Structure 1
Amino acid sequence: MILPTITVITLTLLATGANGRQGFGSGEQEWGYVTVRPYAHMFWWLYYTTANVTNFTEKPLVIWLQGGPGASSTGYGNFEELGPLDLDLNERNYTWVNDYNVLFIDNPVGSGFSYAEKYSGYPKTNAAIASDLLACIKGFLTELPVFATVPTYITAESYGGKMAAEFAYVWYKAQTDGIIESSLKGVAMGDSWLSPMDSVNTWAPYLLATGMVDTIGYEKIKAAAQATQDAVDEGRWSDATSEWATTEYVIINVANNIDFYNILYKVAPSSSSSAREFAASKALLRDERDDQLDELMNSVVKEALGLNVTWGAQSGTIFAALYADFMKPATDQVEYLLNNTDINIFVFTAQLDLIVDTPGTVLWVERLKWPNATQWLNSSRNPLVIDSVIEGYVKQDNNFKLYWINRSGHMVPTDNPVATAAMLEDLTSNADS
């Protein structure tokens, strides 16, 4: 494949007040590494906003964390979902950079351009990932201290949401304890792997209700899900991840290769030869255009940023390092946020997403223990209306909101950018408070 030539256009400093470098594509950017632990190096890539403001500090900083674990924010999130350029290097008119400063972090260590020098450099738990991310933010703010007073928001997708919940809590605590000078104001967790078994146990009824399987298929999926549940109940966490992979493989067989990230995407018959092979490929995100993204990141992007690390080379290794942690829930971290912070806490779920389906998300959200839980449960769900169209629904109490996003799969920023923009505006509404 021949990639088109990219013209680098530097915005004038008067337009944004930025001091960024010429990175890849148009606009002012900055990027760098933070050594978060011995042998562990985390990569970040900042896009200064292109909004019509006197100074970029007039707009919030929004951080994007990808899932996997092992998928890359600088790759997938940037070029597949919300960055200035899409994967074909066309300008994206709904990029978040139009309205916000956007920071992509390749997390955990081993994802994208982040890398470990030896196996001890890989995190093995969600707590270790959160600690690494806090160290990364400290390094980022040391490099660009002007962002210490800029209202900041964590946004995340899939396994990134599991990381974001714990990261937000440890960051908030460090911020209130005076360990870090920053302005964390909110976190939004989208289609997040926060309660894995609630997702796995609702796959069968969700697929039956949407007509994607028949009763025989339903029973096969249900049986595989029960084997996964048994492993979790017995504390066999690595086995639980293996059984999760088997359950997904059963779904592929009975639903003839349904796309886990949007059940309405067009797909070809499956060619995976085993459950483990299938899970390894799916865990790192949709693989339809992976070869194109890999070539892009390891050619012109890598050259433009002056990097000598192979993008994505350690993605499989970091997934393996977290294999025993993969199926562990992190809903307690959301409860910590609700009970101990005053930041905006958003959860959003997509109508057409299978891997972290809406029924499963609603189950764990409604079980959360916090002072306003009953009040939230009894509150009304209101339509999210944009240009006379219902783009979703929202239910709220105080600083906690659950968004249902219509006509969207796992990649909400791509599938429904209109609803995403409205939700982001709501998330950042406390920027001046």
Structure 2
Amino acid sequence: MLAKLIFVLLTLTLVQSREGYGPGDQDWGYVEVRPYANMFWWLHYTTADEVSTNRPLLIWIQGGPGASSSGEGNIYMSGLVDENLEPRDFSYVHLANMLYVDNPVGAGYSYVDVEKGGKFATNMTELTSDYIALLQGFFKAHPEFEEVPLYLLGESFGGKFAPACAQRIHEEVAKGNLKANLRGVGMAYPATKLINNIAFMADELFHAGIVDSDGFKEIQQRSNSILDACIENRWVEAGDLLDELLDHVIATYHLEFFSVTANSLNEFDLSELNSFMDENVSPLLNISIPFGTQRDLVSKSLVDKLQPTSSSVEYLLNNTDIKIAIYNGQLDWVVNTVGTYSWVMALNWYGDVAWNQVERKAFYWDGIHEGHCTEYDRLAFYWVKRAGHRLPNDNPNAMKYILKQLIGYQPT
């Protein structure tokens, strides 16, 4: 009887699976989240268990805004194989089911049919509404995952989006508009309250030996102009000023966006991602939509990119029972660790006093010191060594530890 039940569950779980890019059972599709706005999802069933629903469902949320979960998140960072179809030593698919969603609409394979009147999202409310529609469509296609523990993993702008999205999921579930079992949120180098990171950017670059005293003064002046614009709610102008500041630092000091050591992207050139996906992945998925051509329009359409979503973190801590893990790399000069930690310390929730008094502890993987962690109740903050703005690639062993603590399964 038990063997028959397992066979039935396995059949139901994999009945819709297909072969895609690389090994493993997969499925993919589109959801029209608004008229002429189509969001792409790509599911990779876990290799950890014959019955995939025995393991959680992790949703990867790429940053940008406008970067692609299906391309950067899957092919470059966490999928079973890389751009050369070489097996990745550690893939998140080894641990759990992975759902890569190209979000916002216009990122990656997602697209807006502008000629027919489709529009890009302009603010966080529209972004989260689109994602609720995406989840409703995905769970309609795969109802077997409705009860499976769900975790959102957001990086950079995706780390800003993740808590806002989690709040919206919690609210829609309570209203009966969505069925989902949200259990946690992972926020990697999150742009949740980027004004704090901007305030410390000049210090970060000075102490890393990237700029001298004159460079420090110029960057600090530019940062202050951005902060003034934010204080006065001139969010679009603040975003433009930030883009100018980042371009100035990268060009003047020959620095990569991703790390003060300028080595975070030595495995894959993101400038070649569009052509790689069009030539190597699209034919296998039978997709005719050009990959990534609307990325810049996604970013330009958003008017509140710098508005904080830390209030959603407070909401989740005070009104839900889900776990929250926030992790930052020590080499990240844009979403720098000190800036992120500063807003985490100031969160207003029932455990805030105790959290700020708890002892920070070192954590290890295979006997190697990978960083430190402050954890109390359902909130954990990780300082990760040897990592920049691509933390999962820079220090995969630290990421294994964080995932184990967040979702409760031991990576191999």
**TM-score category, normalised to shorter length:** over 0.9
SS at match of 1:240: helix
Q: Distance in 2 between matches of 1:397 and 1:333?
A: 18
Per the TM alignment, residue 117 of structure 1 is displaced from its structure 2 partner at its CA by 1.2
Q: 2:299 matched to which residue of 1?
A: 319
What is the identity, as a one-letter code, of the residue corresponding to 1:208?
Answer: F
Q: 1:187 matched to which residue of 2?
A: 185
Q: Which runs of 5+ in 2 are unaligned?
A: 1-8
Which of 82, 99, 104 is the matching residue for 1:108?
104
1:266/1:405 CA distance change after superposition, 3 Å? closer
Q: 1:48 matched to which residue of 2?
A: 45
Q: Distance in 1 between matches of 2:268 and 2:178?
A: 41
1:412/1:16 CA distance change after superposition, 3 Å? farther
Q: 2:216 matched to which residue of 1?
A: 218
1:16/1:422 CA distance change after superposition, 3 Å? farther
What is the identity, as a one-letter code, of the residue corresponding to 1:412?
Answer: L
Q: Which runs of 5+ in 1 are unaligned?
A: 1-12, 268-284
After superposition, what is the alpha-carbon deviation per residue over 1:381-424, rounded to whole angstroms, capped at 9, x for unaligned?
A: 11111222111111111111111111111111111111111111
Q: Distance in 2 between matches of 1:291 and 1:220?
A: 29
What aligned pairs does 1:247-258 form with structure 2 within 5 A after superposition?
A: 247-254=245-252, 256-258=253-255
TM-score by length of 2: 0.93
What is the identity, as a one-letter code, of the residue corresponding to 2:239?
Answer: T
Per the TM alignment, residue 57 of structure 1 is displaced from its structure 2 partner at its CA by 0.9
Work out whether residues 16 and 50 of structure 1, in 8 Å CA contact, stay in contact via their aligned partners in 2: no
Which of 360, 368, 372 is the matching residue for 2:347?
368
What is the identity, as a one-letter code, of the residue corresponding to 2:394?
Answer: D
Per the TM alignment, residue 288 of structure 1 is displaced from its structure 2 partner at its CA by 6.6
Q: Distance in 2 between matches of 1:230 and 1:330?
A: 19
1:88/1:16 CA distance change after superposition, 3 Å? farther
SS at match of 1:26: coil
What aligned pairs does 1:320-399 form with structure 2 within 5 A after superposition?
A: 320-322=300-302, 324-399=303-378
Which of 163, 171, 175 is the matching residue for 1:177?
175
The number of residue pairs the alignment matches comes to 399
Work out whether residues 16 and 49 of structure 1, in 8 Å CA contact, stay in contact via their aligned partners in 2: no
What aligned pairs does 1:34-433 form with structure 2 within 5 A after superposition?
A: 34-51=31-48, 53-118=49-114, 120-254=118-252, 256-266=253-263, 289-322=269-302, 324-429=303-408
Give the CA RMSD over aligned residues. Answer: 2.1
SS at match of 2:71: helix
1:415/1:430 CA distance change after superposition, 3 Å? closer
After superposition, what is the alpha-carbon deviation per residue over 1:298-346, rounded to whole angstroms, capped at 9, x for unaligned?
A: 1121111111111101101111101x21121111111111111110111
Work out whether residues 403 and 409 of structure 2, in 8 Å CA contact, stay in contact via their aligned partners in 1: no
Work out whether residues 16 and 54 of structure 1, in 8 Å CA contact, stay in contact via their aligned partners in 2: no
Q: Distance in 1 between matches of 2:272 and 2:233?
A: 39
Percentage of matched positions with identical amino acids = 36
Per the TM alignment, residue 89 of structure 1 is displaced from its structure 2 partner at its CA by 2.4
Per the TM alignment, residue 249 of structure 1 is displaced from its structure 2 partner at its CA by 2.8
Per the TM alignment, residue 430 of structure 1 is displaced from its structure 2 partner at its CA by 9.4
> Structure 1 stretch 293-302 or stretch 309-318: which is displaced more?
293-302
Q: Distance in 2 between matches of 1:241 and 1:378?
A: 35
What is the identity, as a one-letter code, of the residue corresponding to 2:94?
Answer: N
